[in-house]
Structure 1
């Protein structure tokens, strides 16, 4: 009898170790022990962040014990300001805004995950039908529309023009929002426009816009566009929460390699994209790991074009001890 009780005691001790130990799977699968289970995410209604919405809709964050509230933001500057002002805990954003803020001391940021990478036909300089601009060399000295001066579209356009030996020093860069670019082309307010999807597809379908230069090919091919960041303070105080967030997001990033799944989610959140447009747009890539060598390209190109006050090493911005799923 004593032997039986001893055996049962050993079994209970072994079971208890499995239930209480850190490697039991409770933290990994259910989000147990998170520093913060309800988090706010600054989110833009654009293609780049389809996996974020896939993860929300499919319950991947819930599986990690996280409750997500998205806060709509219009652009990269808002993402940085929102993080600094604690309006949200994590934000999507373009790498350029994150790097500029870090370099100028506006914010102390930590990078969590890669988001989107350019593929051919994601960033294109287009012209109206009948334009005399039929080759990249014809862009010299022209008026070219961009949404914001010094942002990703202008950076890629200049880098691509450099690669084609086009002098862009005399280009007139005109700030016009994407939806208004077709009309600006038609009314000859500008000669060309740097557009992104889904606006490229819409302009080609509805206005007959013609591509002159794909600025996401060659030297700028596979260019990193956007990702996810938080403040150094939030990263320091909430490492388990960040790891759980990243784990759920990466499940969706991996699924985003299936175009059909991306098409399905786009109309539910992306501005100006219906199901037909979703089936036609050219998609970029959704990386599943944060590669500092790859995103360093952004900081280096910004430095070359005078958009950073000094060179920036992005590996110092990456949150330490993140698992590479």
Structure 2
């Protein structure tokens, strides 16, 4: 049964990864009757989480007997403690952050795929951009330069370091600095940084401002790299297997629907962010897989270990659901 989504406009159109700084905004879609089991999911109001909103709108969660409440935040830093404390049953975060959390011993368990790169090295949802008149032509030209990402020692700089080294550069000579996505394009244009690793809609915005793409980093790192996942606490996974199974089933339907209906994805994003319609029409959407790309996630874990993001690479047999 299709339902209308009751949710306030997000405070900003931050189409970013979950490594952003903490902050919060909330929305609680109306649920079903008393027979439904309440479930709260903490997410970031970005394109990556569109399937969850579509799943609510299409009634997929209600079909599984779940009364869905969506709590939004500007970053995973606010979501993780809410999961650990049991305030939320499920949450959304990028895989870099989840690898770090597991490495630190936090009791978290991945339960569902969420979003991945397109795998297209000529058009993807994440890119390293430089100014239009920059002399930098290849990733190797970034030696000795400054590159911004939205969070340090996390997903983006791990991918950037790996792709730079693979291209014949030396990432140890690159200075990575933390700049929020909305400010990255200006930082490139005014020379504050030589390059910036950004995601949509900031890739599109950067191009419209005269910048150019140096590398579609995610796609060059691995084919259809998983960017993020839905996760829960170890206590919920162990103590309420039925709830987890229902959530996984609803998410699978939601991801499949989003992947098959890109126009619906763009339309639903407009209901929970302030992204202008003309930008939504141009951005490159991610893919919404129902299964993890184990080889790509393994490569990411190895890179995280190589570049000191984690002390121990996660065992894929236990890290992935």
Contact 1:111 1:318 in 2 (8 A): yes
- The structural deviation recorded for 1:135 is 2.4
Contact 1:77 1:97 in 2 (8 A): no
- The structural deviation recorded for 1:88 is 1.0
Contact 2:90 2:231 in 1 (8 A): yes
Distance (Å, rounded) in 1 between the aligned partners of 2:174 and 2:296: 29
Contact 1:116 1:225 in 2 (8 A): yes
In the alignment, what sits opposite 1:278?
Answer: 280
In the alignment, what sits opposite 2:251?
Answer: 249
Judging changes above 3 Å, is the alpha-carbon distance between structure 1 residues 150 and 211 closer, same or farther for their aligned structure 2 residues? same
- The structural deviation recorded for 1:294 is 4.5
> Tell me, what secondary structure is at the counterpart of 1:112?
strand
Contact 2:131 2:189 in 1 (8 A): yes
Distance (Å, rounded) in 2 between the aligned partners of 1:80 and 1:228: 11
Distance (Å, rounded) in 1 between the aligned partners of 2:153 and 2:274: 24
Contact 1:109 1:317 in 2 (8 A): no
Judging changes above 3 Å, is the alpha-carbon distance between structure 1 residues 211 and 41 closer, same or farther for their aligned structure 2 residues? same
Distance (Å, rounded) in 1 between the aligned partners of 2:276 and 2:86: 33
Judging changes above 3 Å, is the alpha-carbon distance between structure 1 residues 78 and 296 closer, same or farther for their aligned structure 2 residues? farther
> Tell me, what secondary structure is at the counterpart of 1:257?
helix
In the alignment, what sits opposite 2:214?
Answer: 212
Judging changes above 3 Å, is the alpha-carbon distance between structure 1 residues 133 and 291 closer, same or farther for their aligned structure 2 residues? closer
The structure carrying a bigger helix percent of its residues is 1
In the alignment, what sits opposite 1:195?
Answer: 198
Contact 1:118 1:222 in 2 (8 A): yes
In the alignment, what sits opposite 2:108?
Answer: 109
Contact 2:97 2:155 in 1 (8 A): no
- The structural deviation recorded for 1:86 is 2.2
- The structural deviation recorded for 1:243 is 0.9
In the alignment, what sits opposite 1:139?
Answer: 142
Larger Rg: 1
- The structural deviation recorded for 1:272 is 4.6
- The structural deviation recorded for 1:141 is 0.7
Stretches of structure 1 that go unaligned for 5 or more consecutive residues are 1-30, 320-325
> Tell me, what secondary structure is at the counterpart of 2:173?
coil
Q: 2:290 aligns with which of 263, 277, 288?
A: 288
- Aligned-residue CA RMSD in angstroms? 2.2
1:4-36: CA deviation from partner (whole Å, max 9, x where unpaired): xxxxxxxxxxxxxxxxxxxxxxxxxxx9xx9x8
Distance (Å, rounded) in 1 between the aligned partners of 2:287 and 2:268: 16
Moved more, 309-318 or 117-126: 309-318
- The structural deviation recorded for 1:185 is 1.6
Stretches of structure 2 that go unaligned for 5 or more consecutive residues are 1-31
> Tell me, what secondary structure is at the counterpart of 2:115?
strand
Q: TM-score, normalised by structure 2?
A: 0.83
- The structural deviation recorded for 1:201 is 0.5
- Which residues of 2 match residues 1-325 of structure 1 at below 5 A? 37-105=37-105, 107-119=106-118, 120=120, 121-205=124-208, 207-258=209-260, 259-269=262-272, 271-290=273-292, 292-319=294-321
Q: TM-score, normalised by structure 1?
A: 0.82
1:71-126: CA deviation from partner (whole Å, max 9, x where unpaired): 11222333322211222110011111112111211x11221100011123222111
Report the number of matched residues.
Answer: 285
Contact 2:185 2:202 in 1 (8 A): no
Contact 1:292 1:315 in 2 (8 A): no
- The structural deviation recorded for 1:292 is 4.5
Moved more, 129-138 or 190-199: 129-138
Distance (Å, rounded) in 2 between the aligned partners of 1:77 and 1:43: 11
Judging changes above 3 Å, is the alpha-carbon distance between structure 1 residues 220 and 317 closer, same or farther for their aligned structure 2 residues? closer
Distance (Å, rounded) in 2 between the aligned partners of 1:228 and 1:136: 32
Distance (Å, rounded) in 2 between the aligned partners of 1:249 and 1:305: 33
